[in-house]
């Protein structure tokens, strides 16, 4: 793992996600979600949810972050933090599957409904992901 990866605490990565959520485009749900993805090279890629009047075309914050990282040539993901304007925000099923494409060891950081910051391995959140 990179030096920056070691130094980046869960709360720091989550704070990046929490701040970026303000850029969400969500006129239909009014829910803002932000994601911050830490790569093995020590870079952080952010994403927000981008909604569409054709609701199914909506892209979640987590997938926005992954697409941004892959576009930059990064595929080695260590950790992703998620924050939303709802009480607790964990990646949806599609985003879990989307992340699992790269590694089931990715750590997912989010706040529980009681406000506690937790970190869980993707393999725990999606035990039997589809494998091609
Ligand atoms: N959303 C995310 O950005 N990430 C998730 O994991 C769950 C849902 C967004 C999509 C939509 O814009 C809004 O939250 C309500 O579903």
- Please, what is the Cα angle at 129 between 39 and 107, to 5 degrees? 30
Residues ≥6 apart with Cβ < 8 Å to 69: 37, 39, 43, 45, 75, 77
From the alpha carbon of 48, which atom of ligand 1 is closest? Answer: 3
DSSP code, position 108: E
**Phi, then psi, of 36 in degrees rounded to 5:** -130, 120
Is 62 designated active site? Answer: yes
Residues 56-112 have pLDDT tens digits of 999 999 999 999 999 999 999 999 999 999 988 999 999 999 999 999 999 999 999
Measured in Å, residue 46 CA sits from the centre of ligand 1 at 15
- Catalytic annotation, pick one of 62, 74, 101, 124: 62
Measured in Å, residue 72 CA sits from the centre of ligand 1 at 23
Measured in Å, residue 129 CA sits from the centre of ligand 1 at 20
pTM exceeds 0.85 for this model: yes
Q: What percent of the chain has pLDDT over 70?
A: 95
Pick the residue whose CA is nearest to atom 10 on ligand 1.
60
């Amino acid at each position: 793992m990179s030096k920056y990866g070691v130094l980046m605490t869960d709360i720091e990565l989550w704070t990046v996600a929490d701040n970026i959520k303000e850029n969400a485009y969500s006129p239909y749900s009014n829910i803002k979600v932000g994601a911050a993805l830490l790569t093995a090279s020590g870079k952080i890629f952010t994403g927000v949810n981008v909604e569409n009047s054709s609701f199914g075309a909506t892209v979640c914050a987590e997938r926005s972050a992954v697409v941004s990282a892959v576009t930059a040539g990064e595929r080695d993901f260590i950790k992703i933090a998620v924050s939303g304007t709802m009480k607790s925000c964990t990646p949806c099923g599609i985003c879990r599957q989307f992340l699992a494409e790269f590694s089931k060891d990715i750590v997912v950081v989010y706040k529980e409904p009681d406000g506690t910051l937790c970190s869980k391995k993707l393999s725990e959140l999606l035990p039997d992901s589809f494998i091609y």
